[in-house]
Structure 1
Amino acid sequence: MKSATSKKENNTLKAVDFFCSGGGMSYGMQDAGIQILAGIDFDKSCKETYEANIKGAEFIHADVFELKEQELEKKLKLNRNDDNLILIGCSPCQFWSRINTNKTKSEKSKNLLIEFARFVEYFRPGYVVVENVPGVLRRKEESGLNQFIDWLKENGYENPHFEVHNVNNFGVPQNRKRFTLIASRVTEEEIKPIETIGKKLVVEDVLGVENGFPKIGPGHKDETGFLHTTTNLTDINKERLKLVKKNGGNRMGFANNPDLQLKCFVGKENVFIDTFGRLWWNKPSPTITTKFCSISNGRYAHPEEDRGLSIREGAVLQSFPKTYIFKGTSIGNITRMIGNAVPPKYATAVGRAIIQNHNNAV
């Protein structure tokens, strides 16, 4: 056992969540039984959502490139070498994603893991958690991951777990592969997220009228906090969606209609086949991105209703509870928080594994 401090009578684990966004990781960790001290994010629009759901935690509006270790130490009254402290870093991952986006905008974010490592090296917490897209592992030299893992191993975190997991194995009704690193200085055992026993969740387990989602159309605005709100569709997209087969159909349903087929897809039957596609009831959803309300950005049409997913449906597919409070200035603002989130149920699986490890070390 490589503990730098003696065990305290108060064995409560506490965490600081870097790049916290709307609180998916913090909520899941809190649900597991871990006290969340604070969430840190550069996007101030996340503050209301974060503080509405993560009870007792402080939202710190800060750019991690400018935030100093001593400043955080003083603000949160943190101790260095604290066995009960968890530092969590789930940095924005657009630069390392395979999704074809403009990487220039996310150029700065590629170094966020290196900046997070600075805080780990200073505080030397009992536990470290990193969550990101699989691309961080595929390009581990460029992302700084190799260097970070080497530092962990050389500084008492002898057996870090770093692997790509599908969150569908952890109670999330979605196919979403995520890189996860869990490192402990408290014990030498490898810590793996605890998988859910039993049936893996699919779309029909969480969506549909029987699960509390009334039938609605495109452009529906839910004035309540439930946010069963959908974006509107153009007339031509409404016609296209009518021809997409229910329960898993795709854009090939209108491919032979010259008035509806998109010119960019003419003669390209096997390209971006999920565009305008419907979810399957009996399968997990595809990865919920920040664009999940748009049927032209992937397989985000409702399995049988002629519309895209609502804000709340996307949140539930990310495993947020229906009671989760989202505060935002627009649909895009809220869907960005949801799509960028760590699915809370997955975070709970990570948190429970850490608690189990910590209790065994006492």
Structure 2
Amino acid sequence: MKQINRDLHNQKKLKAVDFFCSGGGMSYGMQNVGIKILAGIDVDESCMETYKANIREAEFIHADVFELKETELQNRLSLKKNDDELVLIGCSPCQFWSIIYTDKKKSKKSKNLLKEFRRFVEYFNPGYVVVENVPGVLRKKRASGLAGFVRWLKTNGYKVHFDVHEVSEYGVPQHRKRFTLIANRVTTQEIMPIPITGKKVTVRDVIGEHNGFPKVSHGHKDNTDFLHTVAGLKKINLDRLAITPKNGGTRLAYVNNERLVPKCHKGKTDGFKDVYGRMWWDKPSPTITTKFFSLSNGRFGHPEEDRAISLREGAVLQSFPKSYIFKSTSIANTARMIGNAVPPKYASAIGKAIIQNHKNAV
């Protein structure tokens, strides 16, 4: 009994500040395994209500990290330097380094966010540092500032793990590759996220009528917190879905249909087939992007119903619980918050590894 109480005490001592917190995916996952979240910081005020609704004991700090001063954060949260129990988390917006086409001009400022986060790490010298981002940060490690950051961490006594991980290995019902860095100066151990054992979680495990998702039509609006809201479809897209095979069907079902095939796909049987496609029941879903509510942006068709997946279905495929509350004014804004999030179960896998390491240090 004494050992159990000591372990619980050690868990409670760990505390975190979540930079670029958005709607709280990382904070929620860390909190679920026993790490106290002191605050989430984000420049996007539209995610504040969602964050506060779910990470209730934490403070939401609306701030631009380019302007936020280390001493200001120190005073506001009563943070100490060289605190072995402090975890600083930086999951900065990643559009600039993504391989998915985005307007790089709009996201250019975000390319330096890792360098700004480094300022706080250098100032506070916390026991643990976590960075999660797109794999492109690793491919461009010099330009992104990653190479210099890792060098600084190692020079200053941190044991650093950084690699690209597939989140479906950690209980998330989704294929999603993410760069993850975990730095630790409390012990000499390299910390890695803790994977699940057994079979991967699939689409069938989390959505469908058997999981509390009633059948609905395209354009369905759910005004409750459950948010089983679905984008509307034009008739031509409904006609396309009607002949797309259930459970993994693709646009190849109508590639030679003069009326239904988009001009850019006419006669093409190779190349990218996910657009307008359906998910498979018994596989993890494809990556849930910020446009997962739209059939034309990926394999976001329901495995058997003639519609794209709903907002809540996208959220549970990101491993948010069905009880998670999203406060937003539109489908697009809610989907952006969900698609940009760190999957909470992946965050928990990182948190568990840090807690385990911290126990070993005592």
User: TM-score under structure 1 normalisation?
Assistant: 0.96
Residues in 2 aligned to 1:43 and 1:176: alpha-carbon distance in whole angstroms: 24
How many residues matched? 354
Amino acid of the structure 2 residue aligned with 1:212: G
Q: Quote the offset at 1:199 in angstroms.
A: 1.4
Amino acid of the structure 2 residue aligned with 1:133: V
Which residue number in structure 2 is paired with residue 340 of structure 1?
Answer: 340
The 5 Å alignment of 1:199-210 reads: 199-210=199-210
Q: Quote the offset at 1:100 in angstroms.
A: 1.2
Amino acid of the structure 1 residue aligned with 2:59: E
The 5 Å alignment of 1:266-345 reads: 266-345=266-345
Which residue number in structure 1 is paired with residue 3 of structure 2?
Answer: none
Amino acid of the structure 2 residue aligned with 1:92: P
Deviation string 1:293-330 (CA, Å, 9 cap, x unpaired) is 00000000000000000000000000000000000011
2:31 aligned with 1:17, yes or no?
no
Identify which range, 263-272 or 54-63, moves more after superposition.
263-272
Which residue number in structure 1 is paired with residue 69 of structure 2?
Answer: 68
Any unmatched runs of 5+ in structure 2? 1-8
Secondary structure at 2:143 match in 1: helix
Which residue number in structure 2 is paired with residue 182 of structure 1?
Answer: 182
Deviation string 1:189-210 (CA, Å, 9 cap, x unpaired) is 0001011111110110111100
Residues in 2 aligned to 1:10 and 1:184: alpha-carbon distance in whole angstroms: 16
Deviation string 1:43-89 (CA, Å, 9 cap, x unpaired) is 00000000000021011000001111011001111001111000000
Amino acid of the structure 2 residue aligned with 1:97: S
2:231 aligned with 1:225, yes or no?
no
Amino acid of the structure 2 residue aligned with 1:233: L
Which residue number in structure 2 is paired with residue 254 of structure 1?
Answer: 254
Which residue number in structure 2 is paired with residue 27 of structure 1?
Answer: 28
Cα 1:65/1:257, change in 2 over 3 Å: same
Amino acid of the structure 2 residue aligned with 1:243: I
Detail structure 1 runs of 4+ shifted over 3 Å in the superposition. 8-11
2:46 aligned with 1:52, yes or no?
no
Amino acid of the structure 2 residue aligned with 1:37: L
Which residue number in structure 2 is paired with residue 193 of structure 1?
Answer: 193
Secondary structure at 1:231 match in 2: coil
2:362 aligned with 1:353, yes or no?
no
Considering only aligned residues, what root-mean-square deviation do their CA atoms show, in Å? 1.1
Which residue number in structure 1 is paired with residue 4 of structure 2?
Answer: none
The 5 Å alignment of 1:73-152 reads: 73-152=74-153
Residues in 2 aligned to 1:242 and 1:42: alpha-carbon distance in whole angstroms: 42
Residues in 2 aligned to 1:227 and 1:361: alpha-carbon distance in whole angstroms: 43
User: TM-score under structure 2 normalisation?
Assistant: 0.96
Q: Quote the offset at 1:269 in angstroms.
A: 2.1
Amino acid of the structure 1 residue aligned with 2:343: P
Q: Quote the offset at 1:264 in angstroms.
A: 1.2
Percentage identity across aligned positions?
A: 69
Residues in 1 aligned to 2:262 and 2:115: alpha-carbon distance in whole angstroms: 43
Residues in 2 aligned to 1:273 and 1:56: alpha-carbon distance in whole angstroms: 44
